[in-house]
Amino acid sequence: MTIKVKPKEATAIINSLISGVVPKIGVQHITVGRSNEIEMVLKALEEVKNGHSMMKYWIGDFGSGKSFMLHLLNTVALKQKFVTATADFTPHRRLYSNDGKAQALYTALMDNIAIQTKPEGGALHILLEKWIEQVIVQTATEHQIPLAEIRDAKYFSLIQNSIIQTVNQITEVGGFDFGLAIVKYYEGFISGDDFLRKNALRWLKGEYTTKTEARSDLGVSEIVNDRNYYDMLKNFCRLFVNIGYSGLLINLDEAVNLYKIAHPGMRQKNYETLLSMYNDCFQGKVEYLFFNIAGTTDVLEDKQKGFYSYDALKTRLKVNKFETAELRDYAQPVIRLMPLSHDEIFVLLYNLRDIFNFNYQVEIGFSNEDIHSFMEEIYNKPGASDFLTPREVIRDFLNILNIIRQNPNVDKKKLVDEIKIIDEREETFEMEDEIKQKKIKRIEKQFKNVLLPQEIIEELSHALLDDENVLKSIVGSFNNEAGTLIATEKRLLFISKQKKIKSFPYGQINEMSYKSGPQYSVLHILLGNEKLNIDFIPNSQIKPLIHLLEAQIDILERKTLSAELKYWQKEIQNVSIKSQLEQMSKIAHIIQEKDHTAGEVFSMRHTDTVVKLLRQYKALEVSGIDTPEIEASRQRVAEAIELTYKAFEQELSRIFESDMLDIDAESMAYMQSLKNRGLIN
């Protein structure tokens, strides 16, 4: 065999191609006819290495090799020491949404993070541990601490501060919670606490759906959501470059699923997000980032639903009008993938036969002449010119080799004669329609007591995720429109009688409270900066609904250490501790306002310990048990809280003393300048 392929790669290639998908590893061994594209990508990667960013659109008809091309880009980038991430757009993974679909896309990308030593994906934890080790070594060097001792518990706060400071330097939006999650990962990594490490990884991968759960597990105030996932991708890109990698390459396949979004407004929002990312890349707003988007010709050119339906995107993605099949322009953002020639298909099948033989350690009786006969027969079948794709040719070829391997005496010509050409696209759309109908039936079953019109059910089939269950529903009004409020596992939905749907994802709700009155009750929601009120006529159904939302109501304003302490000031009954918490809250606020970085470090240092103490004291306070042991425990916790209060005061004093020295120095310099100018004696 002329191709040098590893056994693992050979198995992946054969198994994947027989299944109709592109192998994650080994694609370089079956690449034909794409040398110009690869040369362009290598040049583009060099530019990205130098701090530029880029976005390419790979456009081709069904089966033209778009997915294969993205996998090839992945392989090339890994060899150039890039970190790569891949994901497919699906009906439940988009660039823009308000119901978790953009967050789901981010999670899919994080699951598929790959490096050269782990090309199949799942490398995020490896990168985190590598970066943490670098921070540990750097901290030990800066403070002249032996490497054998730096992992001792007494140096934990030192490394903690180093992680936060480094993250603050390389991130912009969401850096504090991003850094806190990494600190928690480090804490679990050092202490062997797998549960803590997994929770930190969950946060970094965008797997938390509520702030309450994330705050309880990790002490963070935010989660990765539909609004900030792009910022988190940029944070990771900077982190990977800080580790020593060339940049981050992101491959997004199946853009047809953006094109197929039924709601025009939502589709335009996704195109708007795509445009924003495009502008960031080519206007120098982001560095070391390389996006690749794959879609069909309709996705690009359809003026009703495609990229060209959004004028701002159309002007940027116009194809060079002088380009032809012979004269190609690979520098433009849009790269059209031309079909492989018959000669290139022959070379591909020739290589696949050798890989197949190597994989199964056999010598299949299928000569070069047999390959020619197979191609001549299959390309002359009815429907071949319209529907035959390289994917089907490869799959049929490998299936025939498999039959021959297991049945050496079979008639090869008869096998080829039995091949039928089908339109795979038609089957795909039928299958998607079947999935949609099943989803509608499930929603109808869950809403059987609400008696919603069919058109509302249709809208809900787009709004709800596949695994999302309805928990409660109640009649109410929103913006003076009567309708039904529905609580699901992931969001609140309001469906008006005019068949409009308003979605309130739990992850985007900053504040929520409930007020009961004699005539009507009100649910107050703060969604971003938007204040919303939902009114109810009091009835027995409200209480179960509010109980369901209580976990979310706990979010409130507890986003900073100062706000957290104010919350506990209300919860604790002990007058002395309440007074201490009031002062501690003021101190935390002063430090936060004075110096944001110092405030984050201060919060990182104290939040976990203080909250644990306060939770413990609250539990003892409401226990209703007055044994000597409980009283002794309560006293010990109260003393610990008092010590923390004193530590807050001392830290604030140190900061002010430092500032006074700076002010004195500035005053002396100012007075001297006045003397020099003869304005004072």
Q: Are 403 and 441 in contact (CB under 8 A)?
A: no
Q: What is the pLDDT of residue 575?
A: 92
Provide the CATH number for the domain around residue 503.
Answer: 2.30.29.30
Q: What is the pLDDT of residue 103?
A: 93
555 pLDDT above the threshold of 50: no
| Euclidean distance between CA atoms 235 and 241, whole angstroms | 10
Q: Are 106 and 232 in contact (CB under 8 A)?
A: yes
Q: What is the pLDDT of residue 557?
A: 43
pLDDT-derived band of residue 466, with 50, 70 and 90 as boundaries? Answer: low
Q: What is the pLDDT of residue 491?
A: 76
pLDDT-derived band of residue 552, with 50, 70 and 90 as boundaries? Answer: very low
What total of structural domains would you count in the chain?
5
Cβ atoms < 10 Å from Cβ of 375: 17
| Euclidean distance between CA atoms 375 and 395, whole angstroms | 13
| Euclidean distance between CA atoms 220 and 560, whole angstroms | 9
Query: Do 580 and 669 lie in a common domain?
Result: yes
What is the three-class DSSP state of 83? strand
Tokens coding 17: 């191609």
Question: Tens digit of pLDDT for each residue in 127-158?
Answer: 999 988 888 898 898 888 888 888 887 888 88
Q: Which of 248, 222, 246, 225 is nearest to 235 (CA)?
A: 248
Helix and strand numbers (H, E) in the chain are: 26, 12
Question: Tens digit of pLDDT for each residue in 230-241?
Answer: 999 999 999 999
365 pLDDT above the threshold of 70: yes
User: What element of type H or E holds 648?
Assistant: helix 628-676
User: What element of type H or E holds 629?
Assistant: helix 628-676
Q: Are 640 and 613 in contact (CB under 8 A)?
A: yes
Query: Do 394 and 414 lie in a common domain?
Result: yes
Mean pLDDT, rounded, of the chain: 82
435 domain-assigned: no
442 domain-assigned: no
User: What element of type H or E holds 268?
Assistant: helix 264-282
User: Could you tell me how many residues make up the chain?
Assistant: 681
Q: Are 617 and 638 in contact (CB under 8 A)?
A: yes
**Domain span at residue 610?**
561-673
Residues 6+ apart with CB under 8 A from 396: 378, 419
Query: Do 499 and 544 lie in a common domain?
Result: yes
Query: Do 457 and 524 lie in a common domain?
Result: yes
Question: Which CA distances in Å does 7 have to 118, 355, 361, 395?
Answer: 16, 9, 10, 20
**pTM > 0.95: yes or no:** no
| Euclidean distance between CA atoms 372 and 404, whole angstroms | 17
Q: What is the pLDDT of residue 77?
A: 94
Query: Do 346 and 409 lie in a common domain?
Result: yes
Average pLDDT score over residue span 378-397: 75
Q: Are 71 and 31 in contact (CB under 8 A)?
A: no
Q: Are 274 and 95 in contact (CB under 8 A)?
A: yes
Q: What is the pLDDT of residue 236?
A: 94
Tokens coding 16: 């994947």
Query: Do 330 and 349 lie in a common domain?
Result: no
Query: Do 582 and 653 lie in a common domain?
Result: yes
25 domain-assigned: no
Torsion over CA: 262, 263, 264, 267 (sign): negative
Beta bridge partners of 289: 248
By the 10 Å C-beta count (0-12 exposed, 13-18 middle, 19+ buried), 85 is classed as buried
pLDDT-derived band of residue 430, with 50, 70 and 90 as boundaries? Answer: very low
Domain end residue (candidates: 553, 570, 603): 553
Mean pLDDT is highest, among 89-98, 210-219, 527-536, for 89-98
Query: Do 321 and 395 lie in a common domain?
Result: no
Q: What is the pLDDT of residue 16?
A: 85
User: What element of type H or E holds 54?
Assistant: strand 54-59
Question: Tens digit of pLDDT for each residue in 38-90?
Answer: 889 999 999 999 999 999 999 988 767 888 889 889 989 999 999 999 999 99
By the 10 Å C-beta count (0-12 exposed, 13-18 middle, 19+ buried), 216 is classed as middle
Amino acid occupying residue 382: P
